[in-house]
Amino acid sequence: MTQSVQERVIAIIAEQAVIDPSEVGMDQTLEDLGIDSLGLVESIFAIEEAFDISVPFNANDPKESSFDISSVASIVAAIEGLVAAQAA
Amino acid sequence: MKRVVITGAGTINPLAHDVAGTLAAFREGRCGISDLDIRDKDRLAIQIGGQVHDWNPESHFNRQQIVLYDRFTQFTLLAAREAVAQSGLNFAGDLSYESGVILGTAGGGLTTSDENYRAVYEEGKNRVHPFVVPKLMNNAAASHLSMEFQLKGPSFTVATACASSNHAMGQAFHMIRSGLTRAMLTGGSEAMLCFGGIKAWEGLRVMSKDACRPFSANRNGMVQGEGAAVFVFEDYDHARARGAEILAEVIGFAMTADASDIVLPSKHGAARAMAGALRDARLNPEDVGYINAHGTGTAANDKTECAAVADVFGHHADRLMISSTKSMHGHLIGGTGAVELLACIMALREGVIAPTIGYEEPDPECALDVVPNVARQAKVDVVLSNAFAFGGLNAVLALRRV
């Protein structure tokens, strides 16, 4: 597994959005990519499975979660943090 | 009261993936029961089932849909698309609000439950896919039909075990007859042929290991099946006004409860349901030419059902025909009445009575004309479709040729 966390997260998001990973921009929101609330929870599930981590996300109030989903960049940064914390 | 007609039919079941193929199988007396092809089959005592083979959801649904649709929902959608296409209805404008969907199922998304219990209990996983609940819930199929066809009126799912479809279709009939709605999608679906679904039935020890032989003296139990059938029920005036082809008229429905035993059938409950359907349709017993039997192939059901028919129809019981198509497609549990309604429509429209195949030895306790092994040409004007569920909940529909 030589892919970076960023590449793997983007691949998961791209699959959910049914687009090519190259079309995913770091400053885009999930809404920009056409991913709805069900698509979001499915993406988080796929990310948890891929990295064997637990993502602190509550669909009832996404803004209150410590997990920042405001853009692709923020999601990648949060996952990188979780992966690093798990490795430590 | 409004008259209610059927203007569309669709199905996928062990015999075929559409209505035309299913009716061809009925005419040929072909058996759709085969060796099961499921995970951990070697741990099952039961090795046969009416399984839907060659099912490729990818040919019908996109990736996002497949992750949301349990097998029972997939079957339902396929059947509904065929039915709606045949009806020619477009549920737009006011009709959207005056149409709904009522479906029967016993297990709902049982395959989803089975797979995810396996994941958390057997495989020790601590995380399940986020769509487990929306996939497994019993109303998932009804909800997806409402979304796909924009049905915004009364919509729900009925669970009365083996009578679920008949109870569902009876509700749809009542709603149109009373003027509450103008068109309904109705029928039922089941997809229980997974390890847990079959293991549970094994426990009851009512399953045959070799074949479903309703009414035959050597019958030794039921065989589970899977699949769906969906119909378009429509206000007769509405159907006529738009020049729709009418497959049959639904003229009566009755439901009863045995109030006696959780699994054993009651002659009285079954008889009251059949008599009630006749009364509701303002029929005399002599009007009925064919009964699609519940006919499960168990010792208890078949003799009880025949005794109930004898009670209700008297001398006419010896003149009418009664067959069980479960011998061909197995027992689709909550979807069975819907698939069996296709045999009723075939009898009325084509004058062909689907046979009871696998019939080998007469049983003095089932001494009726069960149309053994070979389909028969016969003109019938009125038919009944019986469904008698575990829990003693009975539902009988009456249909007439139009």
DSSP string, B8-59: EEEEEBTTBSSHHHHHHHHHHT----EE---TTGGG-S--EEB---S--GGG
Domains and CATH numbers, chain A: 5-87 (1.10.1200.10)
The owner of tokens 């002599």 is B286
* Contact yes or no for B157/B141 (Cβ under 8 A): yes
Check if the beta carbon of residue B372 is closer than 8 Å to that of residue B321: no
**Tens digit of pLDDT for each residue in B166-216?**
999 999 999 999 999 999 999 999 999 999 999 999 999 999 999 999 999
Q: Of B73, B185, B56, B192, which is closest to residue B131 (Cα–Cα)? A: B73
B162, B194, B306, B344: the catalytic one is: B162
Question: Looking at residue B284, what DSSP letter applies?
Answer: -
* pLDDT score, position A2: 67
Q: Which residues, given as ranges, of chain B have pLDDT below 50?
A: none
Domains of chain B: 4-241 (3.40.47.10), 252-400 (3.40.47.10)
* Selected catalytic residue, list B212, B238, B331, B366: B331
As a whole number of Å, the end-to-end CA separation of chain A is 19
- pLDDT tens digits for A31-87? 999 999 889 999 999 999 999 999 988 888 777 778 889 999 999 999 999 999 988
Contact B130 A39 (CB under 8 A): no
**B129, A45: Cβ pair inside 8 Å?**
yes
Q: Residue B64's closest chain A neighbor by CA? A: A16
Confidence of residue A1 (pLDDT cuts 50, 70, 90): low
Residues of A with a Cβ under 8 Å from any B Cβ are: 18, 38-39, 41-42, 44-45, 48-49
**How high is the ipTM of this complex?**
0.82
